[in-house]
Structure 1
Amino acid sequence: MTVLVLTRRLDPVADLVVAELNTRGAPVVRLDPGDLPDHSVFTARLDGAAGWSGTWRGRHRDLDLGAVTAVHWRRPSPPRATVPASEPDARRWADAEARAGFRGVLDALPCIWINHPAANAAAGSLPGALAEAARCGLRVPRSLVTNDPHSAREFVASLPGGVAAYKSIGAGGPVTCDGVTYASWTSRVRADDITDAVGVTAHYFAEWIDKAYEVRLTAVGGRLFAAEIHTHSEAARIDFRRDYDACSYTVCDVPADVADGVRSLMDTYGLRYAALDFLVGHAGLWHLCDINPAGQYGWIEALRAPITRAIADELERQP
């Protein structure tokens, strides 16, 4: 019985989970698919209904694929084949084969997943997740996805105060262009701020919620861990990631209707873990603005240990 942790080399959150499993004496192997095929060797066989079996010989640990009872899918690097950059067509083909082969076998392991990549991909689509959240009874801001500047201006002008939140819906973390890295934070925009550049690609605008504070809610199985995020600078108030030093945190309870909606949303996507962000208005109503099926949690110190223990509990369950 082995817990497989899949993540890149530097991942402090994975470190917490591995340390907790080691403390419990649970067999755990940490590997990164990005080491394939340069720094590790993977051999899997399929013979009948028992599923895939074989070995993955890593840099420091070896894995018996047939012994895996749970997978913690954190933030692994994609497998990349060793083909010279001077042969771009061959490199693209080899990379695609590496992902399809190595990832395909891993995805087929019949065990507990936190979370399966297919579930992460579905829940990680913001337009779909917000629509599903609304069906599950959660409040979500009025939203628009468009590449039409006129529609964007019209939508923003129709909102209370004529203000909207604009944020990236697909880039995720920082984006690098011509060697320069840019962070994509939430911005506060008015209709006059919107230019014809909106026509280049899809853009996401949402109703601006006049919030009293934010909440980071981390769901693990059926357990919910929540903390209020109070911001003390203008930059942090627009997006707390802009100024972590200006944030303070207070552990809080989750309203019953929100808890029911979150558990229903988790069940819909088949998630065992998710980090959800809420904006709490001055009337106390919670509005879901984001869901990250592989979100960080270690930065809220008071919840770090209980969430780590809850993840380990889920990974130790019988499949």
Structure 2
Amino acid sequence: MTVLVLTRDADATADLVIAELNHRGVRVHRLDPGSFPQVAGLSAYIGPYDRRWAGSLKGQHQDTAFDRVTSVYYRRPSPFRFTDEMSEADARWAESEARAGFGVLTTLPCPWINHPHRNAVASVTPIALATAARCGLTVPKTLITNSPDDARDFVKALPDTVAAYKALGSRSPTEIDGQPHALWTTQVRPEDIDDSVTLTAHQFQEWVPKVFEVRLTVVGTQMFAARIRAGSEASRIDFRSDYDSLTYGPCVVPERVRDGVRKLMSEFGLRYSALDFLVNKHGHWYLVDVNPNGQWAFVPFLREPITQAIADLLERPTP
């Protein structure tokens, strides 16, 4: 058996799982798809009487036949990289061909955590929120629009006339020293909304006065909940902006929320997800984010149990 780990070279989260699998004596092949074709390689074949692709992955230090892969941990591969000698047009074509060709791996008939196609669907915010609501979870009032008038009317109708502005996608609109600069959640009022809203889609959400947040990490059938309390003004708006100020503690998840999360995982076909909830003074839980490939190692007391749970699923995969 071989556990295939698809991620970039610098991935401390994947390192934890790989170390645990190595400790158990499980064979691991770690490979960054972004290293194809300059370092990594693949050869795959299918014929008229075959039911699946046969072939192998060729890494810098080892090769693995497709039929030896018993599970896949899909984390955060880097983009494909090509030689500087290529023109921009040729590089775009090569990237498209590489993406399509390397897609042969997505046909591997084994359990994934998670299959990238399932991650892609669950990561689309409108789909995630609608599915969560359909599964019985409470989501904040949300408007997606490029109309400044509609956005102002939406915010005016909210309690205290304040909303949370959140990015819909994962990409950042700006860079600092060539690196993406995160776009944190911000508070907006009607007077903050101008005609720049017309330039693209924007998401405005009801501002939920939270007592604390919950990062609920789901691995298979297990749920690991951490209560997160903000220790700074920045982290009260978006805890990702100031991890150093956060304090963590265990948290009991209401059964209604657990039921909804189980349905959500089933709807998306996920084996792993990190979900963010806001909990108000009345104890109402509002789901604000579904992260099918979200981070989990930043919660100290859950780092080891989640590592072991993921390793369990990879070592003893079930269909």
Q: Is the Cα contact below 8 Å between 1:80 and 1:99 reproduced in 2?
A: no
1:62-108 deviations in whole A, cap 9, x for unaligned?
222221110000001233444634x2222211110011001x21111
User: 1:70–1:175: structure 2 CA closer, same or farther, 3 Å change rule?
Assistant: farther
Equivalent residue, structure 2, for 1:38: 38
Q: Any residues of structure 2 matched to 1:149-228 within 5 Å, and which?
A: 149-172=148-171, 175-176=174-175, 179=178, 181-228=180-227
The answer to whether the 8 A contact 1:73-1:115 is kept is: yes
Q: In the aligned structure 1, how far is the partner of 2:120 from the partner of 2:260?
A: 20
Equivalent residue, structure 2, for 1:142: 141
Deviation at 1:50, TM superposition (A): 4.1
Structure 1 match to 2:95:
95
In structure 2, the residue corresponding to 1:211 is in which secondary structure?
coil
Aligned partner of 2:17 in structure 1 is: 17
Deviation string 1:91-137 (CA, Å, 9 cap, x unpaired) is 211110011001x2111110000000110000001111001000000
- Match of 1:79, SS state, is coil
SS at match of 2:295: coil
| Amino acid in the other structure paired with 2:197 | V
> 1:115 — aligned with what?
114
Structure 1 residues 223, 175: closer, same or farther in 2, change over 3 A? Answer: farther
- Partners of 1:39 and 1:58 within 8 A in 2: yes
Distance 1:81 1:126 in 2: 32
2:62 — aligned with what? 61
Task: Sort the Cα spacing of 1:211 and 1:268 in 2 relative to 1 into closer, same or farther, 3 A.
Answer: same
The offset of 1:176, in angstroms, is 2.1
Q: 1:301 to 1:222 in 2, by over 3 A?
A: same
Q: Which residue of 2 aligns with 1:251?
A: 250
**Which residue in 2 is equivalent to 1:274?**
273
- Unmatched segments (≥5 aa) in structure 2: none
Percent of counterpart pairs with the same letter? 55
State the Cα distance separating 1:177 from its structure 2 match. Answer: 7.1
C-alpha distance after superposition, 1:165-223 (max 9, x if no partner): 00111134684278474320000110111111111100000000010000000001111
* Per-residue Cα deviation, 1:128-155 (whole angstroms, up to 9, x for no partner): 1001000000000000000010100000
Deviation of 1:245 (Å): 1.3
2:4–2:73 Cα contact (<8 Å) kept: yes
Kept in 2, the 8 Å contact 1:139–1:288? The answer is: yes
Q: Report the 3-state secondary structure (helix = DSSP H, G, I; strand = E; otherwise coil) of the residue aligned with 1:145.
A: strand
1:305 counterpart SS class: helix
1:233 is matched with 232
The residue identity in structure 2 corresponding to 1:51 is R
1:69·1:318 contact (CA, 8 Å) conserved in 2? Answer: no
Contact 1:83–1:94 (8 Å) recurs in 2: no
Q: Which residue of 2 aligns with 1:129?
A: 128
Report if the CA contact (8 A) 1:78-1:99 is conserved: no
SS in 1 for 2:211: strand
Instruction: Tell me the distance in 1 between the aligned counterparts of 2:160 and 2:64.
Output: 57
Per the alignment, residue 49 of structure 1 pairs with 50
Distance in 2 between residues matched to 1:236 and 1:253, nearest whole Å:
22
For structure 1, which runs of at least 5 residues remain unmatched after alignment? none
Q: TM-score, normalised by structure 1?
A: 0.96
Residues 257 and 25 of structure 1, relative CA distance in 2, 3 Å threshold: same
Q: Which residue of the partner structure matches residue 287 of structure 1?
A: 286
1:80 and 1:94 in contact (8 A); partners too: no
Q: What is residue 297 of structure 2 aligned with on the other side?
A: 298
